Amino acid sequence: MNRLISYIIVVVIAFIALSSTLFVVDQRQYAIVFALGEVKTVISEPGLHFKLPPPFQNVVFLDKRILTLDTPDADRFITAEKKNILVDAFVKWRIVDPRLYFVSFSGDERSAQNRMAQIVKASLNEEITKRTVREVISGERGKVMDGIQKKVTEEAKQIGVEIVDVRLKRVDYVEQINNSVFDRMKSERARVANELRSTGAAESEKIRADADRQRTVILAEAYRDAEQIRGEGDAKASQIYAQAFGQSPEFYKFYRSLEAYRASFKTRNDMLVIDPNSEFFKYFKNPASTGAGAKKITLSVVQLKYAYLHEVISHHFMQFFWRLHA
């Protein structure tokens, strides 16, 4: 029984000793083997590996994956215009030289991140201080990131780290400058709006003046044409009158008598005290006294009606035209 117990104890001790000499390296890790505090070998291939049991040899594992350095708060920098801006950046990095990395930071990832944060901040300050706000925010943002990555990469090689990428997450003014920028943008928009309004008002006045000018020209041309038509009508009427009166002087007397009757008896209240045998009532007493020129009188009456109708039509046309363009 005692012998069995001794065998079990020996097996357990042998298992413990064997397990302390075996270790597994994951494909996402580096393994650094130490012998009495000295780095002996760096294992980057995944699999099962052997070492001497502690305290002769120890193993430290380092992450092989791409890591992220992200600052919790934005840092304040001064541009070439002496303006304060807030910049928030992040860095993608990974370990490429485990031996140098471990010697630099003793395998402490937090110490490595603090060191890289200082390097990134110094590179940011160097790039931003020689550029304006507009260049940092939009104009040369890509150049800023490229310059930072180049400087950080050179310094990161000295600690066994490779910089994969550097990006600016946020570039913004401080609160006081934000307010002043907003006010300036507001005033600029107001200025543009006022300029557009004044331009629109000027164009409106220009269009209105052109319309008034065209209206005046149209009315003047219409008045000219109307006066020309009226003059032609008056000339035609005068010609007809002259022909009619020249062909029949008796008819002329008759027409003048009709005009006198019309002027004397405009209303019912008009009254004349005159001798019934007066020459004024010649055509009331004897309408046939026109004599042999009755046919000529009839013809002249027709011509006079034509001239009168022509004048009336011209007059009504002018009234219609003026109402249309009033």
Give the per-residue pLDDT at 283: 61
Give the per-residue pLDDT at 270: 63
What are the Cα distances from residue 254, in Å, to 58, 237, 277, 306, 309? 150, 18, 17, 18, 20
Read off the pTM. 0.48
Number of alpha carbons in the 13 Å side-chain half-sphere of residue 220: 6
For the record, the structure tokens of 228 come out as 């020309």
User: What fold does the segment set 67-173 form as a domain?
Assistant: Tetrahydropterin Synthase; Chain A (3.30.479)
Would you put residue 97 in left (φ > 0), alpha (ψ -120 to 50) or beta?
beta
Give the per-residue pLDDT at 280: 64
pLDDT of the chain, 326 residues: tens digit per residue: 667 677 677 666 666 666 677 788 888 888 888 887 777 888 888 888 877 777 777 888 888 888 888 877 778 888 888 888 888 888 888 888 888 888 888 777 888 888 888 888 888 888 888 888 788 777 777 888 888 888 888 888 888 888 888 888 888 777 766 677 777 888 889 999 999 999 888 899 999 999 999 999 999 999 999 999 988 888 887 787 777 667 767 667 777 777 776 776 666 666 666 666 666 666 666 554 444 444 444 444 445 544 555 555 555 555 544 554 55
Would you put residue 107 in left (φ > 0), alpha (ψ -120 to 50) or beta?
left
What are the Cα distances from residue 19, in Å, to 15, 54, 60, 212? 6, 11, 16, 106
Q: What is the β-pairing status of strands 75-78 and 47-50? A: unpaired
Strand locations in 96-206 (E): 161-173
What is the C-alpha separation between 304 and 206, in angstroms, rounded? 51
Where do the structural domains in the chain lie, given as residue ranges?
A: 2-63, 67-173, 213-324
Give the per-residue pLDDT at 96: 87
